[in-house]
Structures are given as C-alpha cells and as structure tokens.
Chain A
Amino acid sequence: GDSVTQMEGPVTLSEEAFLTINCTYTATGYPSLFWYVQYPGEGLQLLLKATKADDKGSNKGFEATYRKETTSFHLEKGSVQVSDSAVYFCALTTGNQFYFGTGTSLTVIP
C-alpha cells in the first residue's frame, strides 16, 4: 500500500544552519506530495506541495523537489530561524486519503 517514510528526529540546529529532512514514499499511481508543519498545540498547516515529477514546491524559504526516480521529496532550507521550530510531516495522496509520515521534530537554537 501507499506509505511515507521520513527521517526520524529530533533534529536540533543552530540558527542560520542548513536543514534537510529526508522523505521517501511508496505509492501506486502518481501521487501528489506535500510537506505540512505543526507548531506546538496547533493543527497541521500546509507548507508546500508538488503534484508531478520534477516539480519543486517552495514556501517561506523551504523547498522540496518531487524525484520520481528516487521516490523522494526531501525538505530543505538554506538558513533556519528559531521560528521554524516545529514538527514537519511529509505526506502523499493518490486520491481520497492522505498518508503521513511519523513526523520530524525540529528545534532551532539561537
């Protein structure tokens, strides 16, 4: 079945460091891929998405490229800020339901 595997955390970085959170997927058909972010005590917010191979999603300095050949959708940011501290979820959908990874907790220290 469809599934998402993402890098386990927690991840702790210093402010202005480079961030990569790995995500790979297994899917039948042609999934759309997403990154959602969850701040403490809140629901999930869409961070970025890509709907077909080689698409790059980007938002708030975060980027991820849909790589069909490696079935990956790694999240990157060149310079993280303290305000980026949150839990990040990779997800896919091929239709009615979303499949989420287990989440990667990121803490950015000043």
Chain B
Amino acid sequence: DAGVTQSPTHLIKTRGQQVTLRCSPKSGHDTVSWYQQALGQGPQFIFQYYEEEERQRGNFPDRFSGHQFPNYSSELNVNALLLGDSALYLCASSLGAGQYQETQYFGPGTRLLVL
C-alpha cells in the first residue's frame, strides 16, 4: 500500500519564476492538503482540496494555487516566486475533507529553493 508520494524531491528556481509541485495521496484517500514548512518552523496550512475543489484556505496569497484531479492527485502552483517561498512543501492526504477529523498522512515533501 503506497503512502503519500510527492515529486520532485528537490527544486531550485529563481525569483519571478513559476513552479508546480505534485502529490499522489495514500490509497483510499480522497482529500489532499498542502503545507509550507519554513526552516525551523512547524508546517503552515496553505489549502485543502476535496472533490476537485478548494475547500479551505490558509493565510497565503493568490500566487499559491492548486488543482485536484479525478484520481485525487493534486498539484500546487506558485507564481512569481519570492525568496521567502523557499521551504519544504508538504502534501498530506486524508479521507472525507475533515468531516470526521481524520488523521492526515504526510508525504516526504518537496524542498524548494528560490535564488
């Protein structure tokens, strides 16, 4: 049973560029959440996708957008990259869009460095 997978593992971009990160949820899960984890900090919630729609959003600008596909996989897009976007981006999957306070299972993350 595959867990949550993310790609790529590492990425280097320059300021102003755009980036797309990908996530495949754990088998049987239908909900994907994205988090940003700055160095030495706890993960900060970006948004959650369920039934191909954004269900809830944290305090992140519109430069951060996402998408969920019919197979429940998801993408995170960040436009006009800033140096401060350098972080570990974590994807978490769960079942039922938070209705039952289900445990979220995390992938290994994508480490993004913006130069």
The SS class assigned to the A binding surface is strand
Query: Count of A residues near B, CB < 8 Å?
Result: 25
Interface size class on chain B is 20 to 34
* Contact present for B98 and A93 (CB under 8 Å): yes
Contact with B along A1-33 (1 / 0, CB 8 A): 000100000000000000000000000000110
Task: Report the Cα distance A28→B48, complex, angstroms.
Answer: 20
Indicate which residue in A42, A93, A99 contacts B101 across the interface (CB closer than 8 Å).
Answer: A93
Tell which of B64-72, B75-83, B103-111 binds the partner. B103-111
Indicate which residue in A4, A43, A96 contacts B90 across the interface (CB closer than 8 Å).
Answer: A43
* Contact present for A96 and B48 (CB under 8 Å): yes
* Contact present for A97 and B90 (CB under 8 Å): no
* Contact present for B33 and A101 (CB under 8 Å): no
Chain B interface (Cβ < 8 Å from any Cβ of A): 4, 33, 35, 40-45, 48, 55-56, 58, 90, 92, 97-99, 101, 103-109
Chain A interface (Cβ < 8 Å from any Cβ of B): 4, 31-32, 34, 36, 42-46, 49, 51, 89, 91, 93-103
9 tightest A-B CB contacts, nearest first: A100-B42, A96-B98, A96-B56, A44-B106, A95-B98, A43-B108, A97-B45, A32-B101, A43-B106
